[in-house]
Structures are given as C-alpha cells and as structure tokens.
Amino acid sequence: MTPLDNVADLRDTDLNDVELDRRLASTWATPKGVWGALSTVDHKIIGRRYIITAFVFLALGGILSLAMRLQLAQPEARFIGPDRYNQIFTMHGTNMMFLFAVPVMEAMAVYLVPLMVGTRNIAFPRLNAFSYWMYLAGGLLLWIAFAIDTGPDVGWFADVPLSGPQYAAGKRADIWAQMITFTEVSALAVAVELVVTVFKQRAPGMSLDQIPLFVWSMLVTSFLIIMAMPAIMIASTALILDRLVGTQFFNPAEGGDVLLWQHLFWFFGHPEVYIIFLPAVGMVSTIVATFTRRPVFGYLGMVMALIATGILAFGLWVHHMFVAGLPRLGESFFTASSMAIAIPAGLQIFCWLATIWAGRPVFKTPFLFVIGFMVIFVIGGMTGVMVASVPFDTQVHDTYFVVAHFHYVLVGGAVFPLLGAIYYWFPKITGRMMNETIGRWAFGLIFTGFNLTFFPMHILGLQGMPRRIYTYQPEMPWSGLNMFVSLSAVILAAGFLLFFIDAIRSALSGPVAPANPWCASTLEWATSSPPPAYNFSRMPVVGSLEPLVDNSGALPVASGLFVDRRELVVTSVVGALPEARESSPGDSIWPLWSALATTVLLIWSIFTPWAVVWGSVPLAIALTGWFWPKGTKEDDA
Amino acid sequence: MRYGGLSVPPLAWAVGTQLGQITPYIDCRQQMVWTPAFCSALLLISVAGTAASRLAPTPVGPTERFVVDAAVLIASAFVFALVLQGAASMLLDPCQH
C-alpha cells in the first residue's frame, strides 16, 4: 500500500505517470470472468463485439448469396426450390442491411469516436451495452427462424399486401417485422450516444472546425438514424397490428392504404443508404489523409457535403416508387433531388482526388481499398443518375440492372471503405498488424471478383432478367452470363475468405503494432495499441485538425480529474471549452437483464397482443433495477 | 440571420418536396398553376436566406466563420435542388401519371 492509497478524492495532478496508469486501470478496467464480460460498459469491448458479430452476419449473408448464385448458374436448376429461394433472398437482403451494414458502421463508431474525440468512454455507456444485446437478440431471432424454415419470405422491404395477413400466412412476415424493432432500437440507442459524445465529450479545444471527418460523418449519420428509423418502426409495428389484431392500416378495402407502406418504408429506406455510405465517407477521408501524408483537401467542402447529403437523403424516397402510379410532376421533384445529391457526392470525390494529387500517396492495403471504392462507387453513382430518370427507371425497375446498381453503391460505397478501415484500424483495435501481402491479394480478389460478378448484371437487367426469380427457362438469353456471374462470385468469395483468414490469424499471432504504425494525425493514435480501459492517461487538449502532426512532441493535456472514480470532461458544443467534470456510469448487469426482458416481450408479442401487457412486468422490474439509485457517483451520472 | 443559410433553404426544399406530392392533384383538377407558383416562392425565400447568411456581419472567431461558410455552401446545394424542381414544375403536365 502506498501513502496515497488512503487519500480520498485523489486527482491526476497528484500522481506520476506510472501510479496514474495503475489507478486509472483499477478504476476503469472490466473485471475478468463471465460476469465482468456480461456487465461491461467499456465502449471498446462492446465495439469489438459489435464488429465481430456484424462480420459473422456478413459471412452468413455471403453464404446465402453463394447459394443463390449456385441456383441461378444454370436454367431450371433444382438446387433450391421457390419457397426456400424466397426465404434466402429475403434473408440475404435483410441480414446485410439490418444486421451487417448499419450495425457495423455504428460499431466502428462505438469503438473509434470516443478515442478520436479524446474522451474516456462513450456517453450513456449502459445504453450502449443494452443496444448490443438487443442487436444480438434480433440477429438470433432472424437466423433461428430461418433455420427452422420460418425465415421471412417477403423481400427485404416486405411490401404490402404481399406481407399482409391476406397473402403471408404463418409467422414469417412477423419475424421480419419484429426483427426490425430489435435492430432499430439498437441503432437508435447508439445514434443518441454518438450525438451526445460528439457534442459534449470532445477534448478541450476540439472546436467544430477541428473535428476529424470520420467523427463528422458519424454525427450526421446519427441524426439520419434518429430521424429515419422511427418511420420503419412505425411501419413494421402497424404491419404486426394488421396481422395480429386486425387493424387495417394497409388494407384499402377497409380504408387503409397500400402505398402508405411504401412511403413509410422508403422514407426510412433511402436515408438508410446514406446511413451506410456517410460513415464510409469518413473512413475514406481518414485513410486518404493518412496515406497521402497531408490533410484532406477542402475540409469545409467535405463537411458541407456530409450535411447536405444527410438532409437531401430525406427527399429521395419516391424514386423507389416511380412505378407506383404517382403523378409524374410529383415524381420529378424526387428526380430533381436525386440529381442534386450528385453535387455533394461529386464534391467529395474531387476533394479526395485533389488530396491524392497534391499528396505523397503510399499504396498500402487500406489505401488500395479506397482506390477500389472510388472506381466502383463512381460507376454506381452514374447508374444511380440513370435510374433517377423516371423513363429509364420504368424500364429497368425490378430487373438485375437495379441489383447491379445497388450492389455497386452499397458494396463499393460501404464495404470497400469498411475493409480498408479494418486494415487501417486493426492495429489500434487488436494491437497487432494485418499481413500486407495477404491484404493485397484479398483486395485484388475482391475487386476483380466484385466487378466480374456485378457488372454483367447490368446487361442481364437490360436483357430483361427480373430480380427475385428462383429459376429461368433455357430459351431466355441469360444462361451464359448467369454462369459467368456465378463463377465470378467464387473469386469474390475467395477474396473475403482470405480477408477473414488474415484477420483471425493476425489477431492471434500478427506482429505487435506500435501506438501509431501509420504515422496518422488523429487522437486515437495518441494512445497505446490496443488502448487501455481508460483510453488516455491524461485528457488531451486539441489545437488543430491534426493534433499529432502539429504537436510532434508531447500532446498538451488537461488535468484535475479524479482517478478513484470514472470521470470525464464535458465541453461546450461549438468551441469545446471545458464546462464540467462528469461521472461516467460503471459496469452493470441491468442492461443485459433489460434486453432479455425486452426480447421476451417483443418475441411473445408476435403471438399475442397480451404479451405487451404481461411482458412489460419483467421489463419494468429490469428497468427499475437499472435506474435504482445505488449511491455511487457513477450511478448518479 | 447568420445561420439563415443552414436552416432556410433546407426547410424550403423540405416544404417544396412535400407540396410536390399534393399540389399536382389540385393543379390537375382545377387547371391551376400552384406548383410552379410555390416553387418560385420557395426558391426566392431560399436565395434570400442564403444571401442573409452571406451578408450578415462578419463572425469574430474561426469556428463561427466555419459554421457560416458551411451554411452558405449547404444552402447553395438546396437552391440548386429547388431550381431543378421549379424547372420540372414548368415542364411537366400535372395530370400525367
């Protein structure tokens, strides 16, 4: 025992570096064992869990796509029947959108944003733990249902009346609708945490014009989630009510409206594309800046593009409904907005190109994925401008042209930057480097395989091949290209397999990473790899957009925080001026109990409306336990 | 005034996008030109909001200047969208489905 062990309210100013690290570790570390793992609120542990879970869902969704390609490789194949095929394409879309794309982007933010803004934990860390358990429960619900032949078979957007009580017997559509509730509750929780973290927990001095672009992108994305996701939750709840208790929201015969579903779904569904894409913009900007050894050209323009894209995203939804019979004049308003959003998207591309042009590019694996992203996303953007035109969209609607377009946008626009981001931040997250040679091979296979798989789908679509068909006749002119696409999908799958092997192998036995292996400029690289439980020994103070470049010596720090309880600095929204010291909640098992109680309520309510009444009892008990005053500073926070 | 660019054009565009789903039915039924009229009005309001941002007294600090500059740039994207919507309202028949 040291003399300082008996001192109450010990602050970081009283301690040397070694003693400070020891005490902070004791205050912030997650206890070992199962109980510690279940009750942790460390954003890094929860972020890692999110990322791993999302990639497991990516692998499962990829296996489904290979099954579809095997079925479609030849005309009149008998590998998968129509009923199972309906489930598979629904599962593939639902899984990739709701269980992979959105959660993985939020997961990266859960891990990185607190580090990038220089704080010790995310805001509302118990809510963060709750959100992960909800996400996991939603994913398990969907996949267990599929395993027992009750997987949804109504497409990832579950259009009524196909998904309504008249045409979708059984519980398959209910599983889809309730899975939405799980994942959207989870996404909304994380979005709220990120907004508060970015607005109120930035390092002193990190004013709005000094926020890293990835953090900006996640801030805008979080607002999109908060504004878009309630629409789909209302829609899916209304669908469950139509199916379970006989409301008639979507039944025209009883005064309902079929198109109401499409409006509600796509009011969420189109911003969803940008919920996936905008984080990728932040990732690309970060990687480009690091591997060109200069700040991103046009920081102001990039921020403007992020915000403008985020707002415009809410005025595009009708371009998914161009064949629904709306007035042409009304549709043209959405064509106009769809064209207008090309302006901020184009601005971003030109800013990155200017950065590369003026910088000294280093072609490491993360940067290769960024180059791949630019090529693929520009192609996807151009076909996007094509389908924004009503006459063209009317011709190619529900054909493979659209399948090709949205895979170019989503895989090119989100998955390529994400893979680059994994290679880039892997050393920070695991403390180990990924293999550069294998990374280049993985990039080559994925880039080649992707283009060979999806580019021919444009031609298949122009030849009239509809989406969601489980087979086709030999007389159709599609078999040769379909065989080619299926063989190319094997190359793509091989690339992903190599990526997974590299990630697992490197996490177990890769070379140990230094704190800042890429000589990057943002705050997450100012701490060790992987970071300690408390992120930073002393709170960094920021005076520029590139704090690690402009302070190549020691980073200025703020002091005065208590070390015997979890505490962080709260700063002002615009200038990030220090305002207060705030306690950060400690570990708790109650978020898990609350998530379990919510899970019981939601799944039970698929079968009887009384579940909402009786299921709320355990949920109320769990929430009472969660919020019951426990007399510690952390619990009062 | 200073942050008019950040709020007025996006709001005008949101209002216009919503009205674009309603007024074509009225224009078609009553042979009126409400759609081009509100498009023009919203465009003028947006330009005024952007100009107000630009012409407001120069902000003191770099962060405030950054916010104002971003607001003007964001506003210009929405003015462009409103111009396109206005052009569409003059070119298309409101009765066409």
Q: Where do the structural domains in chain A lie, given as residue ranges?
A: 42-523, 588-637
Query: Measured on CA atoms in the order A586, A590, A594, A599, is the torsion positive or negative?
Result: positive
- Give the C-alpha separation, A24 to A32, whole Å: 16
DSSP 3-state of A539: strand
Q: Which residue has 């996807």 as its token pair? A: A380
The pLDDT of A127-135, averaged and rounded, is 98
Using CB atoms, pick whichever of B20, B77, B91 lies closest to residue A340: B77
C-alpha to C-alpha distance for A578 and A205, rounded to whole angstroms: 8
* % of residues, chain A, pLDDT over 70: 97
Average pLDDT over residues A231-243: 94
- H or E element in which residue A613 lies: helix A611-614
- Out of A120-124, A228-232, A342-346, A516-520, least confident range: A342-346
- CA dihedral for B49, B53, B54, B55, sign (positive or negative): positive
User: Would the CB atoms of A327 and B96 count as touching at under 8 Å?
Assistant: yes
CB contact under 8 A, A329 and B25: no
- The predicted-structure confidence for A529-570, as pLDDT tens digits, reads as follows 999 999 999 999 998 888 888 766 678 888 888 888 899 999
What residues have CB less than 8 Å from A194, skipping those under 6 apart? A106, A109, A110, A113, A122, A218, A219, A221, A222
CB A594 within 8 A of CB A127: no
**pLDDT digit string, tens, across residues B39-76:** 999 999 999 988 888 887 776 788 888 888 888 888 88
Which residues of chain A does B10 touch, with a Cβ-Cβ cutoff of 8 Å? 311
Residue A528 has pLDDT above 90, yes or no: yes
How would residue A637 be classed by pLDDT, with cut points 50, 70 and 90? low
Compute the distance between CA of residue A601 and CA of residue A599 in angstroms, rounded to an integer: 5
pLDDT for residue A7: 57
* A330 in contact with B, Cβ within 8 Å: yes
| Of the partner residues B20, B28, B78, the one whose CB lies closest to the CB of residue A333 | B20
Average pLDDT value for residue range B74-87: 89
Q: To which H or E segment does residue A263 belong?
A: helix A258-292
Q: Would you call B17 and A344 a contact, using CB atoms and an 8 Å cutoff?
A: no
Give the pLDDT confidence score for residue B2 in this predicted structure.
72
User: Which range, A58-72, B24-38, B41-55, is most confident?
Assistant: A58-72
The better pLDDT of the pair A495, A556 is held by: A495
**Mean pLDDT, rounded, of chain A:** 93
**Predicted-complex ipTM score:** 0.87
Task: Please tell me if residue A575 touches chain B, with a CB cutoff of 8 Å.
Answer: yes
The DSSP code for A54 is: H
Give the integer Cα–Cα distance in Å for A439 and A444.
9
Paired sense of beta strands A557-558 and A567-571, if any: unpaired
Q: What mean pLDDT is predicted for residues A161-179?
A: 93
Q: Which two tokens stand for residue B82?
A: 């409103």
State the pLDDT at residue A170.
92
Closest CB to A329 among B14, B35, B73 = B35
Q: How far is A190 from chain B (nearest CA, A)?
A: 26
Residues of A in contact with B88 (CB under 8 A): 329, 332-333, 335-336
Segment B6-22 mean pLDDT: 89
3-state secondary structure of B60: coil
Structure tokens at A425: 């931040």
Lowest pLDDT segment from A3-7, A9-13, A448-452, B77-81: A3-7
Split at pLDDT 50, 70, 90, the class of A46 is: very high
Residue A8 pLDDT level (bands cut at 50, 70, 90) = low
A208, A301, A325 ranked by CB distance to B97: nearest: A325
Q: Is the pLDDT of residue A1 over 50?
A: no
pLDDT band at A195 (very low <50, low <70, confident <90, very high): very high
- Between B63 and A49, where is the model more confident? A49
The token duo for A21 is: 């690290």
The CATH number of the domain covering residues in A42-523? 1.20.210.10
Contact A576, A202 (CB under 8 A): yes
How are beta strands A557-558 and A539-540 bridged, if at all? antiparallel
Domain segments of chain B as ranges:
4-91
- Which pTM was predicted? 0.94
